Amino acid sequence: MANEHLSDNCIFCKIIKGEIPSNKIAETEKSYAFLDINPLSEGHALIIPKYHSEFFHQLPDDVLADMLPLAKKVALAIGLDNGQYNLLQNNGRMAHQEVFHVHFHIIPKPNPEQGLIIGWPQQKFTAEDLKKTLNRIKEKL
Ligand code: 5GP
Ligand code: ZN
């Protein structure tokens, strides 16, 4: 994929171009996988598109379709002893995004202390509320 889709002032674009070093795991024509520099657990990896976009929903479908098979390959290669890990993709500052170039994290969960630790603050929605939400979403599809 040509450099026309990469940005001059993005840290992950610079990694793709080789202007900043990275521990590359693998790459395809459209995606690049490397180790996270501040891992939550051993093997914590990032899969990024060779296409600068801040958010998941801005990526072209063909690029997205290339990323997940690479993520699967990397997840298998990480060699998770207990088979437990999280696939994480943050969009927006409030949603914990720090680097504004789309990335999927693969985060091994070797034990309760290491890897991703998340809150799960479940809200109360009635069956009627859920139906309203469903209709709102379906109208926009
Ligand atoms: P976010 O919070 O945006 O989902 O995650 C950004 C991730 O990128 C963090 O886990 C952070 O450690 C990683 N990261 C930031 N800068 C670099 C870098 O220069 N090299 C590598 N390998 N990882 C980085
Ligand atoms: Zn970028």
Separation between Cα atoms, residue 26 and residue 120, nearest integer Å? 33
The pLDDT confidence band at residue 79, using thresholds 50, 70 and 90, is: confident
Q: Considering the candidates 52, 101, 103, 105, report the single residue annotated as catalytic.
A: 103
Nearest residue to 101 via CA among 43, 25, 20: 20
Rounded distance from Cα 117 to ligand 2 centre (Å): 27
Rounded distance from Cα 31 to ligand 2 centre (Å): 12
pLDDT tens sequence across 26-60: 999 999 999 999 999 999 999 999 999 999 999 99
Pair 43, 79: CB distance under 8 Å: yes
Residues framing ligand 1 (Cβ under 6 A) = 11, 20, 22, 34-38, 90, 96-99
103 is catalytic: yes
pLDDT tens sequence across 97-115: 999 999 999 999 999 999 9
Q: What's the sign of the alpha-carbon dihedral 66, 72, 75, 78?
A: negative
